[in-house]
A = this chain, B = another copy of it.
């Protein structure tokens, strides 16, 4: 294709232009965007982000203009180039871990170094001895060793106990033999393994003298340090394209009776004594539980900003896009901004509210976690376990573990709920953009596809809910037995029991704290109902899984509503002006009432609300949509995403949507550089090309 001819270059977009529409939106609201941004992220964090952004923008390797056009192989090769430069910049600017992660966030794509820089280093650090740190960690931190964390297998994901890979101890030469006995034993989905790792932490069933001791971590060299070719008896490669995440080399790995030295079993928490061949557990693995809880809390915090990217794009574009005149309008008043349609508001504004709800919830999870870590650090004791195969439950690890157990269960419930809301919400945002939402240039599709694994990894969102309910049932039993500890779950269950004979009377439409209490009531009601099914009616665990999923979701929704409410009454929030707090309170009510309406059956069947209150909630929601509408653009502005991070024609801060779509299609699109031969009787595909004999 020839470049845009002159007559095309002269064309303007139809008035009113997107830039004028967004400017009008911004001037119609007096919400202080900077104040709210600073409250959400702190000014210091935003300044750091801007400093790093400037560095990335100045480096041509980070150019994103071909991202949406590249095929998988070009994409992942380009991504490795970006990863290498990020690492070089990390060294050059002495970036902290946090600063390096900020740079990755701005890049907004997984890179082949992703699992090396996270799980591989973390596992070596947390589970290695000082000797192993010297041997592996230092070199890994230096990118001489590049590695991954190889747990999941072709035939086993969630059920770690079922892993097939074995590590057999050889007393004679003090080695382990790592082996994949079957095809289904192949490690699978392992990030950074497919193309870049030369080492892997392999989770394998430890076998000593024919006895199995469960899965343990082993450091295995898999590729030659110079040629990068697989070592003998190692079969490794990339598992192929995925729905998203295609800049990551998720890999497979099979091992054929490969011997590794004794020192390669990561030995901080358990080891084989080389002289006796005895299995030993020298230290307390509490940290592992802490790590999982921390990872999930991070997912909760991120879910808010993940969703906010989609909401920012869809909200801005809905203010720029105009379709149809209002049916009741008198005369020719022009087309409506689609954001003025209540159906669009009803789809987008509750998601906008959810972004803040999830952000505040994640923040409160992280501080609870940090508080708890300090507590654990103060009174850590080695556990006494009879069954060496069994991992200790968190409550066995220290006597005051109530908060820890509560935090663990809450992190499971919120990880499941938060990532589901974010993942499904992104697709709602994409669809709310109409036809253009389907273009890659919308920036939502790729982001959605890259995010979806979060709903499955770190605990599948359905599986996790069983852990939540196991904890809720256990707490309910303890409450009934008068032995419950001191945490919020016990508190809401006790409150419910105390009012069992009087029932609830929550003023959900007039009182914010009553609204929170209604959510707590619903959790307590269904917890005791589940307990009845399980302990009294003796129903099978399997028959209760659907109830459990609902109960865990109810628990998560309670936590989110409670955390959002907590943020509103938090003294630190007093730095905000009246307008901002008013809008935040409206967003809180929108989130809480909209969720209540969606789950209406549970609210009235538990007696938390009346059916009349639910009908009134619908009216209140429609009113809130109108209240929040004028501030919608400024609210997404407060999320403060740089255009470069969003990489979206529709979500541009300046509103120049159509100019940008046209520019990308007509000037950046490589498909427009070739000419097709369209006729079926010509077997060639490109004009002037030799006909393909096989056609």
* Interface size of A as a range: 35 or more
Check if A505 is an interface residue, CB within 8 A of chain B. Answer: no
* Closest chain B residue, CB of each to CB of A180: B11
Check if A583 is an interface residue, CB within 8 A of chain B. Answer: no
Can you list 15 A-B pairs, Cβ within 8 angstroms, ordered by A?
A1-B230, A8-B254, A11-B254, A13-B183, A14-B184, A61-B694, A71-B72, A73-B671, A77-B686, A84-B695, A158-B434, A252-B662, A326-B541, A343-B549, A431-B455
* Separation of A387 and B494 alpha carbons in the complex (Å): 71
Check if A367 is an interface residue, CB within 8 A of chain B. Answer: no
Check if A143 is an interface residue, CB within 8 A of chain B. Answer: yes
Q: Are B438 and A662 in contact (CB under 8 A)?
A: no
* Separation of A194 and B683 alpha carbons in the complex (Å): 19
Q: Render A542-555 as a binary contact track against B, CB cut-off 8 A, 1 for contact.
A: 11111011000000
Q: Which of A99-142 contact B (CB under 8 A)?
A: 112-113
**Contact of A662 with B154 at beta-carbon distance under 8 Å, contacts A77-B685, A341-B542, A343-B549 already known:** yes
Q: Render A158-170 as a binary contact track against B, CB cut-off 8 A, 1 for contact.
A: 1100101000000
Name 7 extra pairs, CB < 8 A, besides A14-B184, A435-B457. Answer: A8-B256, A11-B183, A157-B323, A196-B676, A196-B678, A242-B440, A438-B452
Q: Are B156 and A238 in contact (CB under 8 A)?
A: no
Residues in B with CB closer than 8 Å to A571 are none
Q: Looking at the complex, which of A42-50, A205-213, A597-605 is the stretch in contact with chain B?
A: A597-605
Q: Are B73 and A143 in contact (CB under 8 A)?
A: no
Residues in B with CB closer than 8 Å to A441 are 240
Q: Are A671 and B195 in contact (CB under 8 A)?
A: yes
Q: Render A67-84 as a binary contact track against B, CB cut-off 8 A, 1 for contact.
A: 011111110110011011
Residue from the list B7, B230, B675 in contact with A233, Cβ < 8 A: B7
Copies of this protein, total: 2
Q: Render A538-573 as a binary contact track against B, CB cut-off 8 A, 1 for contact.
A: 001111111011000000000000000000000000
Residues in B with CB closer than 8 Å to A181 are 11
Q: How far is the CB of A679 from chain B (nearest CB, A)?
A: 6
Residue from the list B198, B233, B244, B546 in contact with A342, Cβ < 8 A: B546
* Separation of A239 and B671 alpha carbons in the complex (Å): 9
Q: Are B546 and A183 in contact (CB under 8 A)?
A: no
Check if A665 is an interface residue, CB within 8 A of chain B. Answer: yes
Q: Are B8 and A685 in contact (CB under 8 A)?
A: no
**Contact of A335 with B439 at beta-carbon distance under 8 Å, contacts A183-B13, A542-B326, A685-B80 already known:** no
* Separation of A286 and B561 alpha carbons in the complex (Å): 54
Check if A453 is an interface residue, CB within 8 A of chain B. Answer: yes
* Closest chain B residue, CB of each to CB of A194: B671
Q: How far is the CB of A136 from chain B (nearest CB, A)?
A: 16
Residue from the list B70, B328, B680 in contact with A84, Cβ < 8 A: B680
Q: How far is the CB of A203 from chain B (nearest CB, A)?
A: 15
Check if A174 is an interface residue, CB within 8 A of chain B. Answer: no
Residues in B with CB closer than 8 Å to A665 are 237-240, 252
Residues in B with CB closer than 8 Å to A346 are 545-546
Residues in B with CB closer than 8 Å to A73 are 71, 670-671, 674
Q: Are B435 and A189 in contact (CB under 8 A)?
A: yes
* Separation of A600 and B600 alpha carbons in the complex (Å): 8
